[in-house]
Structure 1
Amino acid sequence: MEFVAVAMLAVLVSGYLVLAGADIGVGMLLGVLGRDERERRVVIASFAPFFLGNEVWLVAAAGVTAGAFPGLEHELLVGLYPLFVVLLLGWVVRDMGLWLRGRVDVRWWRAGCDVAVVAGSWVLALVWGSLLGTLLVGGGHLEAGLNAGSVAGLPLAGLFAVHGAGFARWRLTGVPASRAGSVPGRYAVSAVALAGVAVAAGSRLPLWEVMASGTALRVTAVMTVVLLPLLVAAQALTWWVFRGRVDAPSYL
């Protein structure tokens, strides 16, 4: 059960970074891919059906952490609370821009929301890069790795942008897709890179030392094994339904 719990956590975190990393990356490049109001709406439509479902993977990872590795979430929050505060702020700003941009049909309102989407996406990418860098450098000693690791992980934000560009090339058509093609990299390659960084960072954590025992571990592991295929199936169904390229604005 111990190995199953670790493997499930690795799959969920990697899945989140690969899937949500695409919409974060597209958000970072929103102003580059879309030069006018309509183009920006089309760019947002490329990931609009997916971004809420992508976040479920992070929620599931948090649940596995709380159930199978009690105390680890506390250590992470206490040791890295400045990064988590900024992460939460960026998350709120990005999602606020996405949900509110269509509420008022005024140019300056939509422009402000687009700025919020870009700024929030950059904050998310930079903070996730810093968090991963901190874990890679500090491992179980979070305070020691916070400064050096946070700075060392900042270049990982570029990986999110490359990942988003690869996703945009697959989803968009016409001029926006051509602009995405000017960014080097491929979606599959950046997906493997993000998953690899996640696994490497997780391997630096003292997971075996904080692992639960007995019923708590068994229940968490079994429930995750049962629910993960359902999560994958729901995600696959969403991708199948919205598999076509986007050439028109959506509700956002």
Structure 2
Amino acid sequence: MVDIAVQLYTLRSLDAPLPELLDRVGAAGYDGVEFAYRVRESPVEDVRAALDRNGLEAASAHVPIEALEDAPAKALEAEFDETVRFYDRLGVDTLVVPWLDAEHFESAAAVDAAAARLDDLAEALDAEGVRFAYHHHDQEFASVDDAPALERLIERTDDRVGLEVDAGWALVGGTDPAALIDRHADRITHVHAADADVDRGESVGLGEGDVDVDAVVASARSADAEWLVYEHDDPADPIESIERGAAALREALR
């Protein structure tokens, strides 16, 4: 069974404490949340209490790569350890690097270097009992040796590096997101159920853009994905957006 979550980046424009935002997520009918911005602004105990009262699970968390990369410098080692401990207190078992700049996908050597970094993180987190994944945007679909850079990245990384497919950004990058999920089903536990207007290269609400939402949901199910994560990068009305997103996903899952 696939559960639905919301990426909290969708609600970043709202001036409210995280526990209040979690109340709105629960009221919208989601099963979980994917943490991102502002997660450290409220006491962990208050966030856990909000998750519990709304019946929400911590599906995963987006964490900048700089907060995870280990290094000989004690400060960075301490940051890695603290990051792992912090998200463990929230009940998060999957950490996701949400972004690498386009320069990492401009050549075969650059992709291979990025793959090595991700492998190192996957190994370090695996030792802590934490799953690891990479979330792409559209820059990963730049052509490298006549194939999308993302394909080389997946080929060059260990199976412990999961792939969080973003349906909207995959389509903007020129790739069928359902086919991408099918092709790499063994790497996928989370799918971003996001829509996009390809001509404008912009995020839109589910069903308002060019993504075949039903096909994406079907492929996620076939891949035994655990979570469909709704995200809209810049909604005019964030609460309405997550409500409509939950309804669209529930309909697609029938």
Note whether the superposition's TM-score is higher than 0.5: no
Q: Which gives a bigger RCO, structure 1 or 2 (Cα 8 Å, sep 6+)?
A: 1
TM-score by length of 2: 0.27
Q: Looking at secondary structure, tell me which structure has more helix per residue.
A: 1
- Name the larger-Rg structure: 1
TM-score by length of 1: 0.27
